[in-house]
Chain A
């Protein structure tokens, strides 16, 4: 680890802290329908949208109506995306003349992936998707799925803040205001900033460049495995030209980070120079990933009238973030002990140190930082290869997703995930002091805890069941490119990432197969919607409750003790659930590495 590396990590976090309050205040104003600077431009547009879509903006919804509206919106959006993928060959803005996404199961997986804010990609964007699919299908979902997450968090916060009311807002109004006031303005400015750094934005056909020297590359099959020639040797292809893919990248790149979506325009995601060209773009994209999650803690404080509670939640997230990034950075800077003697330490010939799997332009600190940030949230964009990290370095992103991505988290989903943990934390605290648990003046009762447990249980259930099936049968294990515990880590990471709607891949697993397409799609849908429903049920139930003034027996949720308890609950639930699986994957791999065996 270097001072320069830590300086960059602290600079990043300082920038996140800087945007937390102003953005959080702005979000509060937007969802409280208070006047903002953008109103003269956006309010007429908003009214027009409601008129065209027959939405009564003054209609308030109970939690069931809010939830069913969200489900219908998501279902129709998912079907439209599926249709776009399958019909793109007949649609305009397709200069590369791509045909339909050729496997219906892959199209289904991708439609589920972008509808759920996961952006798991079993395809390479630049060789599969036309511009119209990228823009009207994938980028559209990047906005909408992010907005859905944010409005659900806002609905939950309203549930806490409201007293003896049966409503938690209007889904359609929240969705429109989130897009018009929060996501679109920031993304329009952000996309221009990225263009200034070299991110491409055009609708041109791909360019072709002739290579100065032809190169030999190993031939691989569609499953990613090497193809052998008649003599049993690796078959090689001679490449004489390079196709330079381009397209409307910047407009998709900024919402990919700001909305914690993560799906790259290019297969190489944010390690591609057209997506992430400079150290400045790297830093701005990192800040974009954390900014909404961090700001929502301020919004929580403002809307519930307890700013100190918002900061207490923020502190829990910050501590978990620093713990993760410190471990990842330490493990990756230290390198692989089995490779002692190779150039893993910074030297004159290799100043970066352990470059295995890293983003070589930005170094170890920025690779470890990105891996931590992208999995603390449900982003899933990558600038380095998690599969190539050391076992402990790779454990950090995996563990982050297993903790339900509540460290600033996916936009909105991190906040409502954290609020579920808070419900459990105050319930446990209430049991310890022998009083009915209370949270910001609301009694936490049996129904709230039952719903919280449904949220907490569905996540490991879907991960462990699908991982176990994949590890037990040939249709799952035949996709593994690395044997032993590393192979299990690849499977576990795949389903964890999809259930957590993260979307980053550990790599090393061929997932464009019927099994992984179908199982993955179901994992993403279950991981998103079966968690959201009980979350909204809690919100609706809290909104109906009357306010109970704090008493001597009330556990304060504004103190360092609360922060520590919250972290403890998150870690204990995560550890109890996933430790057996982790011990057979990355932990065993680390121990075997120390004993001299690598995979």
Chain B
């Protein structure tokens, strides 16, 4: 069960990172 948790946490972290890529890109557009 804990294995599933850490796999989900890993995927969630990298999904968040991809969101952060979008955030960094959008800052440029709103300048």
Q: What is the interface of chain A, defined by CB distance below 8 A to chain B?
A: 64, 67-68, 71-72, 74-75, 78-79, 82, 86, 104-105, 107-108, 111-112, 446-447, 450-451, 454, 522, 525, 529-530, 533-534, 537, 541
Q: Hey, what's the 0/1 contact readout for B1-31 against A, CB within 8 Å counting as 1?
A: 0110111011101100110110011011001
Residue of A75, A105, A451, A454 near B6 (CB, 8 A) is A105
Q: Are A71 and B24 in contact (CB-based, < 8 A)?
A: no
**B2, chain A: closest CB distance, angstroms:** 4
Task: Give every chain B residue within 8 A of A541 (Cβ-Cβ).
Answer: 28
Beyond A79-B10, A104-B5, A111-B10, 12 extra complex contacts between A and B, CB < 8 Å: A64-B25, A67-B21, A68-B21, A75-B10, A78-B10, A104-B6, A108-B6, A450-B27, A451-B24, A451-B27, A454-B24, A529-B17
The 7 closest A-B pairs by CB, nearest first: A104-B2, A75-B14, A108-B6, A537-B24, A529-B17, A447-B28, A71-B17
- For the complex formed, measure the closest distance between the CB of B16 and the CB atoms of chain A, giving whole angstroms: 9
> Is the beta-carbon distance between A82 and B10 smaller than 8 angstroms?
yes
Partner of A74, one of B2, B3, B14: B14
Looking at the complex, which one of A107, A111, A525, A534 makes contact with B24 (CB distance below 8 Å)? A534
Task: Give chain A residues whose Cβ lies under 8 Å from the Cβ of B3.
Answer: 82, 86, 104
Q: How far is the CA of A54 from the CA of B29 in the complex (A)?
A: 33
Q: How far is B21's CA from A108's CA once the two chains are assembled, in angstroms?
A: 24
User: Which applies to chain B's interface (DSSP): helix, strand, loop or mixed?
Assistant: helix
- Given A104-B2, A104-B5, A108-B6, A533 and B21 contact (CB-CB distance below 8 Å): yes
Q: In the complex, what residue of chain A is closest to B2 when comparing beta carbons?
A: A104
Sample of 23 A–B contacts (CB below 8 Å) = A64-B21, A68-B21, A71-B17, A71-B18, A72-B14, A75-B10, A78-B10, A79-B7, A79-B11, A82-B10, A104-B5, A104-B6, A108-B9, A108-B10, A446-B31, A447-B31, A450-B27, A451-B27, A530-B17, A530-B20, A533-B20, A534-B24, A541-B28
- Considering the chains assembled together, what is the distance between the CA atoms of A64 and B6 in angstroms? 26
Residue pair A107, B6 in contact (C-beta under 8 Å): yes
Contact of A533 among B2, B6, B24, B31 (CB under 8 A): B24
Once the chains are docked, how many angstroms separate the CA of A75 from the CA of B25?
21
> Which residues on the A side are within 8 Å of B9 (C-beta)?
108
Question: Residues of A contacting B5 with CB < 8 Å?
Answer: 104
- What residues of B have a CB within 8 angstroms of the CB of A111 in the complex? 10
Residue of B with least CB distance to A541: B28
- How far does the alpha carbon of A29 sit from the alpha carbon of B8 in the complex, in Å? 41
CA distance A78 to B7 in the complex (A): 9
Nearest chain-A residue to B23 (Cβ)?
A: A533
Contacts of B31 in A (CB 8 A): 446-447
What is the CA–CA distance of A75 and B2 in the complex, to the nearest angstrom? 18
Residues of A within 8 A of B11 (CB): 75, 79
Nearest CB to that of B25 among chain A residues?
A: A64
How far, in Å, is B23 (CB) from chain A's closest CB? 9
Across-interface contacts of A79 in B (CB, < 8 A): 7, 10-11
What distance in Å separates the Cβ of B12 from its nearest Cβ neighbour in chain A?
10
Residues of A within 8 A of B27 (CB): 447, 450-451
Q: Which residues of B contact A75 (CB under 8 A)?
A: 10-11, 14
Q: Report how far A317 CA is from B16 CA in the complex, Å.
A: 34
How long is the Cα–Cα vector from A454 to B3 in the complex, in angstroms?
A: 32
Complex Cα distance A211/B5, Å?
45
CB proximity of B7 to chain A, nearest CB, Å: 6
How near does chain B come to A89, taking the closest CB pair, in angstroms? 14
How many angstroms from the CA of A74 to the CA of B14 in the assembled complex? 9
A446 partner residues in chain B, CB cutoff 8 A: 31
B residues within 8 A CB of A451? 24, 27
List, in ascending order, chain A residues with CB within 8 A of B18's CB.
68, 71
Please, how many angstroms separate the alpha-carbon atoms of A68 and B21 in the complex? 8
Q: Are A525 and B13 closer than 8 Å at their CB atoms?
A: yes
Nearest neighbor of B14 in chain A, beta-carbon distance: A75
Contact residues in A for B28 (Cβ distance below 8 Å):
447, 537, 541
Contact, CB under 8 Å: A533 / B17:
yes
Nearest opposing residue in chain B for A447, CB measure: B28
Closest B residue to A534 by beta carbon equals B24
Cβ of A483 to closest chain B Cβ, rounded Å: 33
Return B13 CB to nearest CB of chain A, in Å.
6
CB nearest to B1 among chain A residues:
A104
The interface residues of chain A lying within 8 Å CB-to-CB of B24 are: 451, 454, 533-534, 537
How many angstroms from the CA of A537 to the CA of B27 in the assembled complex? Answer: 10
Inter-chain contacts of B2 with A (CB < 8 A): 104-105
| A78 and chain B: residue at smallest CB distance | B10
Q: How far is the CA of A581 from the CA of B2 in the complex (A)?
A: 35
B10 touches A71 (CB 8 A): no
B3's nearest neighbour on chain A, judged by CB, is A104
CB-defined contacts of A450 to chain B, threshold 8 Å: 27
Contact A82 B7, beta carbon cutoff 8 Å = yes
Q: Considering the chains assembled together, what is the distance between the CA atoms of A573 and B18 in angstroms?
A: 28
Q: Nearest chain B CB to A97's CB is how many angstroms away? A: 21
C-alpha spacing A71/B18, complex, angstroms: 8
Nearest CB in chain A to that of B13: its residue:
A525
Q: List chain B residues, Cβ under 8 A from A447.
A: 27-28, 31
Q: How far is the CA of A456 from the CA of B25 in the complex (A)?
A: 18
Chain B residues near A68: list those with CB within 8 A. 18, 21
Cα distance, A534 to B27, chains bound together (Å): 11
Which of B2, B9, B11, B17 is packed against the most chain A CB atoms within 10 Å? B17
Collect the chain B residues with CB atoms within 8 Å of residue A537's CB: 21, 24-25, 28
Q: How far is the CB of A146 from chain B (nearest CB, A)?
A: 20
Cα distance A369–B24 when bound, in Å? 39
Cα(A76)–Cα(B17), bound, Å: 14
Report how far A119 CA is from B31 CA in the complex, Å.
39
B19 to chain A, nearest CB (A): 10
